[in-house]
Chain A
């Protein structure tokens, strides 16, 4: 299978091309089959490849497939080549498998939409770009996939482009991530000029040989790459685009803005980990960014009314956990959480899609209620996905991955009590907003008639993701519980392992007990405030309003960047030079308005003109000598 790596991104890419070119002529059934089957085939190839890889791990723990040389300029020779190692394996499996389930679900969700084929073309192109990103052997090809997923994100957020708000959200997402992408591009230039290659493995080797730990150049390169990761993964300070990105169709939110694309930043940092190890201040910044994003967006999630925005803030918060883990050197824990998060967050988004469709596209949770008996499938999906998100101890995937991060936030070489406490506070908040959401949507009196019941194409992905959200954590259970950390061992064959240096008063068991306590506190508090018989209308006060607006970052950026730009643009639009050209245009305009009057369409008027002109010419010829 090692020579068939190229097939994994090729299937979705080919079907995206077909759908884009002749999609409007295909029937819905054909478009749905083509769109989903391509991802299914891709997933099949990925599973077979992974199985072969696991059976007989190759030397160096990686397969490389060279396809062709992209360009060859003055010694700079990036190839189109795919690299397959344990990290890629996890990412490819998550992208293809979760992507396939979401495509199947979309067949039902988008059933009545006019842009059915267009939707599948964009989604397939996204999966192709995402697979290019994770399979890329060099940073240039990775950047191609990186921009490709950004483009598809833009296209899918603005999928219903007739609504101006959606277009604005798409533009915002594109522009804000562009800030990070520009930083990343500069980072690539820096690496290419100093180390003369962009091949990731070679780059890491040369960086290790040539740059000492903490050298300025390593710090600059790592910081620039971090900029790209922060933009794509919606972390502070470039996080403002993600809540607005919920304007897209719900399967899009599930695939792009929860399970895969937004975790590309985590993948990038894990992939270039050697560079970050060379730059300890940047690595600390990663941890700080992760911890603060986790806390700030968890508080924001508490105050939201829109079901999808709660999930968006929750996504930012969970990616914050991953960044925290990356910053502390817990590389495999970050990828573990990435995987479980992809399962349960995709599940939550798809279930939210069912709820929203059943509620006549109502998204305000305070207008919902009592859906527990009406939509049992969505209810159980929410309970399972939400419990995994909140970390229900021992039986959900989210508990194990979050617990590992918390434990390593203490025990790792960079770990300390503050990160540990921040993680626990985040876990409490997570449980609180998750159960607030479930209590608001599914309990209490029913408020509306349903307009939709989920069919088979929605039920199969939901059930599969439910199973994964419950069992996905058992691939890596802590030794202290008598388990086997299989995934960590597997990933640590290519990622630097974490040395547990702090084994002080807090042990793994204590961490697990504290995490369970955090879950119970969050759950109990949510029940205390939002239980059906206590529920009241949402309160309005300054703090809640601040959280509702995402800590006012939109307002701040509008004042800091947009307003001065608008001011300068307005000033420069009315300066002297401009008034010359503007004056010319006005002059031409008024002359043409004057001349227009003569073209009145009356033939006698034209004859008069011709006669008068002739008389004038005749007079000139006669009398002017």
Chain B
């Protein structure tokens, strides 16, 4: 189960690093969050301790909040630019 979590996390990270579309970026972040949650559940199962499952509930709640904020930002961004390419949002470069 931990292996599955690692694979999921790696997939999410690769998606985050390679995709330029902001929706995919957001989805990759979700995948990574869920991989972390899975790792908590796996740990909880392994040591027979409920803390890990409690933590997963927290992560779930936080993920919901994060997605709502992320989607709101995405909508705002789409209103300013006719694209969802994250590389166009680089006005603050040094």
A binding-site residues for B, Cβ under 8 Å: 595-604, 607-608, 611
Which of B86, B91, B93 touches A604 (beta carbons < 8 Å)? Answer: B86
Chain B contact-residue range equals 10 to 19
* 9-residue interface stretch from B13-21, B34-42, B52-60: B13-21
- B58-94, CB under 8 A of A: which get 1 and which 0? 0000000000000000000000000000110111111
With A608-B17, A611-B13, A611-B17 known as contacts, the answer to whether A603 contacts B93 (CB < 8 A) is: no
Residues facing A in B1-37 (CB within 8 A) are: 13, 16-18, 20, 25
B86 and A600 within 8 A (CB): no
In the bound assembly, the distance between CA atoms of A596 and B87 in angstroms comes to 17
Judging by beta carbons under 8 Å apart, are B17 and A601 in contact? Answer: no
Closest A-chain residue to B13, C-beta based? Answer: A611
**CB–CB A599/B17 < 8 A:** no
Closest chain A residue to B86, Cβ basis: A603
Chain A residues, CB < 8 A from B94: 595-601
Known: A596-B94, A599-B94, A600-B93. A607 touches B17 (CB 8 A): yes
Q: Can you give 23 contacting A-B residue pairs, CB < 8 Å? A: A598-B94, A599-B93, A599-B94, A600-B94, A601-B90, A601-B91, A601-B92, A601-B94, A602-B86, A602-B90, A602-B93, A603-B25, A603-B86, A603-B89, A604-B16, A604-B18, A604-B20, A604-B25, A604-B86, A604-B87, A607-B16, A608-B17, A611-B17
- Find chain A residues with CB under 8 A from B86 CB: 602-604
Chain A residues within an 8 Å CB radius of B91: 601
The residues of B that contact A600 with a CB separation of less than 8 Å are 90, 93-94
A595 to B93, CA, bound (A): 12
Instruction: Tally the A-B contacts, defined by beta carbons under 8 Å.
Output: 35
How distant is A616 from chain B, measured CB to nearest CB, in Å? 15
Q: How far is the CA of A195 from the CA of B86 in the complex (A)?
A: 82
Q: Which of B13, B16, B89 is the one whose CB lies under 8 Å from A601?
A: B89
Give the complex CA separation of A598 and B92 in angstroms: 12
- Within the complex, the shortest CB–CB distance from A610 to chain B, in Å, comes to 10
Which B residues touch A604, using CB under 8 A? 16-18, 20, 25, 86-87
> What's the least CB distance linking B55 to chain A, in Å?
19
Find the B residue at minimum CB distance from A593.
B94
Question: When chains A and B are docked, how far (Å) is the Cα of A607 from the Cα of B92?
Answer: 16
State the CA gap A353–B40 with chains docked (Å): 91
Cα-based distance from A21 to B16 in the complex (angstroms): 61
Identify the closest chain A residue to B29 (Cβ): A607
Of B16, B18, B92, most A-chain CB atoms within 10 Å: B16
Q: How far is the CB of B69 from chain A (nearest CB, A)?
A: 15
Contact of A601 with B93 in the complex, beta carbons under 8 Å? yes
- Taking the nearest CB of chain A, how far is it from the CB of B86, in angstroms? 5
| Additional pairs, 17, CB under 8 Å, beyond known A598-B94, A600-B90, A602-B90 | A595-B94, A597-B94, A599-B92, A599-B94, A600-B94, A601-B91, A601-B92, A601-B93, A601-B94, A602-B86, A603-B86, A603-B89, A604-B18, A604-B86, A604-B87, A608-B17, A611-B17
Which has the most chain A C-beta neighbours within 10 Å: B25, B87, B90, B94?
Answer: B94
- Report, nearest first, the 10 A-B pairs whose CB atoms are least far apart: A601-B90, A599-B94, A601-B93, A596-B94, A603-B86, A600-B93, A602-B87, A607-B16, A601-B92, A608-B17
Instruction: Report the minimum CB–CB distance from A611 to chain B (whole Å).
Output: 6
Nearest-Cβ distance from residue B8 to partner chain A, whole angstroms: 15
Q: How far is the CA of A595 from the CA of B89 in the complex (A)?
A: 20
Q: What residues of A have a CB within 8 angstroms of the CB of B92 in the complex?
A: 599, 601
Closest CB of chain A to B58's CB: distance in Å?
A: 21
CB distance from B39 to the nearest CB of A (A): 14
Residues of B within 8 Å of A596, CB to CB, are 94
Q: Chain B residue with minimal CB distance to A607?
A: B16
Provide the residues of chain A in CB contact with B17, threshold 8 Å.
604, 607-608, 611
Task: Provide the bound-state CA to CA distance between A331 and B73, in Å.
Answer: 87
Q: Which residues of B contact A598 (CB under 8 A)?
A: 94
Residues of A within 8 Å of B25, CB to CB, are 603-604
Which residue, of A599, A607, A611, has the highest number of chain B Cβ atoms within 10 A?
Answer: A607
Tell me the nearest residue of chain A to B19, going by C-beta: A604
The listed residue with most A CB atoms (<10 A of its CB), out of B13, B89, B93, is B93
Q: How far is the CA of A10 from the CA of B89 in the complex (A)?
A: 63
Residues of the A chain whose Cβ atoms lie less than 8 Å from the Cβ of B20: 604
Across the interface, name the chain A residue whose C-beta is closest to B93. Answer: A601
Please report the C-alpha to C-alpha distance between residue A270 and residue B18 in the assembled complex, in whole angstroms.
90
- The distance in angstroms between the C-alpha atoms of A599 and B92, with both chains bound, is 8
Q: What residue of chain A has the Cβ atom nearest to residue B91's Cβ?
A: A601
* Smallest beta-carbon distance A602→chain B, Å: 5
Chain B's closest residue to A600 (CB) is B93
- A606 CB to closest chain B CB, in angstroms? 10
- Separation of A607 and B13 alpha carbons in the complex (Å): 9
Q: How far is the CA of A596 from the CA of B92 in the complex (A)?
A: 11
A247 to chain B, nearest CB (A): 45
